Each structure stands twice: as structure tokens, then as C-alpha cells.
């Protein structure tokens, strides 16, 4: 796969970039821990934020003590750690998603935009299969589906990386907001029936945070490269 490194946007989607993404995602989860807990307390057991925070903290420890060789290795380590550290449904769902995304990347040392889109599509397929969730079930799928569609379209249209990820995040945010009006049919929230309406799904909210971290990592790397300062890949 060819790296995304145009003169206007010198970002290499390499191992360092993926480590930076996961690090920023962990920071975002920690910063929004209270909000995620409140969203989950409204329709679940309230531990979505603390569970994810514990899991991503574990991921950072693993990444800090290993030397991942490829982007796929970063995602595989992330997924395996989340599965082992996070309780409830979110650990297996996110963990499997990251691992399948890593599998989609293969042994490439640098990834292009279509490759990134394919990885997120593989992650979505894993979530759908494991969670048996469909669009409109009021789950993280409702944020993931429009995000992946937006990224696939951007990749097909050869949209620059940061603009493509802007569209991805905007689609995920809209999908998460749409869950507010939905009645849950999966998980603990489904026990509430009509009372689950009026609340944003916490999994959709955390999906937005993770994808926003991806976009922000690309934006910071692009700005650093454009200013002549070292980017995430050390250029």
C-alpha cells in the first residue's frame, strides 16, 4: 500500500501514527469518562467510561513496553488488551474490532487512505457479527456505519486525509445523535423498552471519541509536517 504523503498533507500512516492515534484515543476516553458514565447510567449500569478507561490505560502500558513493527501490530495489541481488561460488552466488541482492523492491514509498514477505510470496514463487520446488531438498534453500530460509509466515499473520491476524516467524524457524530430518538433492542438498555428513548447510546458516543482521536492525530501530523516540524513519523 502507498502512504498518504502529498505535498499539502505530509502525513505517513505508519506505526508511529497508529501509536499516536491510540494514545490520543486513550486520553479522550479519560477526559470524557464522567460523560460516558452518565450516558451509560441512564440506560445501562454506568460503567462504560470506567471500563474503557481501564482498558485503554492497559493498552498504553503495553504499547509503552513493546516495539510494534507495523500498524497492524499496534491494532492487534490494542484489541487483545481491551478484550482482557474491559468488562461488559464493550471490551469484546472494541477488542475484536481493533484486531480485525489490524488483520485487514496485513504486514504493510505504511497505509494509504483506502487501506484505512478497509480496516475500519473490517472493524465494523466484526462488531456487527459479534454483537448481532443492525442499524437502528441503538448501539455503537449506529455511529460506525455512517462513519465507514463517509470514509469509503472520501477514499473513492481521493479526498485528502484530514478532510476525509472530518467527514468521517461528522457522520459518526450525526449517527450518535440519532440514537437519542431510538428505542434500544440490544443489551441492558433493551430492558427499559420505551424508556430508553431520549438518551444517547454510550457506545456510539465512545465511537465518536475514538474516531475523533484518529482525525485529530492526522490533523496534528499534517500541521506539523506543513510547518517543517517533526511529525508523528519523525520526518
Instruction: Using the structure block, give the residue that is written with the C-alpha cell 456505519.
Output: 145
Confidence band (pLDDT; 50, 70, 90) for 133?
A: confident
| Burial state string for 22-56 with b = 16 or more CB within 10 A and e = fewer than 16 | bbbbbebbeebbebbbbbbebbbebbbbbbbbbbb
Check pLDDT > 50 for residue 4. no
pLDDT higher than 80, residue 1: no
Residue 11, pLDDT > 80, answer no
Place of cell 440490544: 186
Q: What is the bridge-based pairing of β-strands 9-10 and 13-14? A: unpaired
Worst-scoring range by mean pLDDT, 63-67, 161-165, 196-200? 196-200
Q: Distances from the Cα of 90 to the Cαs of 8, 17, 22, 47, 98, in angstroms?
A: 37, 24, 16, 10, 12
> 38 or 183, which is more confident?
38
Using alpha carbons, list the distances in angstroms from residue 82 to 16, 119, 231, 235. 20, 18, 27, 31
| 8 Å CB contact between 113 and 160 | no
**DSSP assigned state of 5:** E
Residue whose C-alpha cell reads 490533523 in the numeric block:
219
Among 173, 156, 153, 184, smallest CA distance to 215 is for 173
The CATH fold assigned to 10-224 is 1.25.40
Q: Which residue has the higher pLDDT, 5 or 31?
A: 31
Helix (H) or strand (E) holding 78: helix 71-85
For 12, the grid coordinates are: 505517513
Mean pLDDT along residues 155-170: 97
Greater confidence (11 vs 74) lies with 74
User: How far does Cα 30 stand from its chain's mean position?
Assistant: 15
Q: How far is Cα 48 from Cα 137, in angstroms, rounded to an integer?
A: 18
Residue with cell 513496553: 65
What are the sequence ranges of the domains in the chain? 10-224
Cβ pair 221, 11 in contact under 8 A = yes
C-alpha cell at 208: 465518536
Amino acid at each position: 500500500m502507498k502512504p498518504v504523503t502529498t505535498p499539502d498533507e505530509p502525513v505517513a500512516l505508519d506505526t508511529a501514527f497508529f501509536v499516536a492515534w491510540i494514545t490520543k484515543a486513550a486520553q479522550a476516553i479519560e477526559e470524557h469518562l464522567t460523560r460516558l458514565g452518565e450516558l451509560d447510567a441512564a440506560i445501562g449500569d454506568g460503567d462504560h467510561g470506567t471500563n474503557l478507561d481501564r482498558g485503554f490505560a492497559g493498552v498504553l502500558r503495553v504499547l509503552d513496553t513493546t516495539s510494534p513493527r507495523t500498524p497492524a501490530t499496534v491494532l492487534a495489541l490494542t484489541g487483545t488488551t481491551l478484550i482482557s481488561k474491559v468488562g461488559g460488552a464493550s471490551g469484546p466488541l472494541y477488542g475484536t474490532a481493533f484486531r480485525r482492523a489490524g488483520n485487514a492491514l496485513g504486514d504493510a509498514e505504511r497505509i494509504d487512505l483506502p487501506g484505512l477505510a478497509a480496516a475500519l470496514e473490517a472493524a465494523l463487520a466484526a462488531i456487527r457479527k459479534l454483537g448481532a446488531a443492525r442499524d437502528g438498534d441503538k448501539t455503537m453500530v449506529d455511529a460506525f456505519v455512517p462513519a465507514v460509509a463517509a470514509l469509503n466515499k472520501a477514499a473513492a473520491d481521493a479526498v485528502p486525509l484530514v478532510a476525509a476524516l472530518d467527514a468521517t467524524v461528522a457522520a459518526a457524530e450525526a449517527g450518535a445523535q440519532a440514537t437519542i430518538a431510538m428505542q434500544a433492542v440490544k443489551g441492558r438498555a433493551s430492558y427499559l423498552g420505551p424508556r430508553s428513548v431520549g438518551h444517547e447510546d454510550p457506545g456510539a458516543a465512545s465511537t465518536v471519541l475514538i474516531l475523533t482521536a484518529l482525525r485529530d492525530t492526522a490533523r496534528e501530523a499534517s500541521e506539523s509536517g506543513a510547518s517543517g516540524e517533526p511529525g508523528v513519523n519523525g520526518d
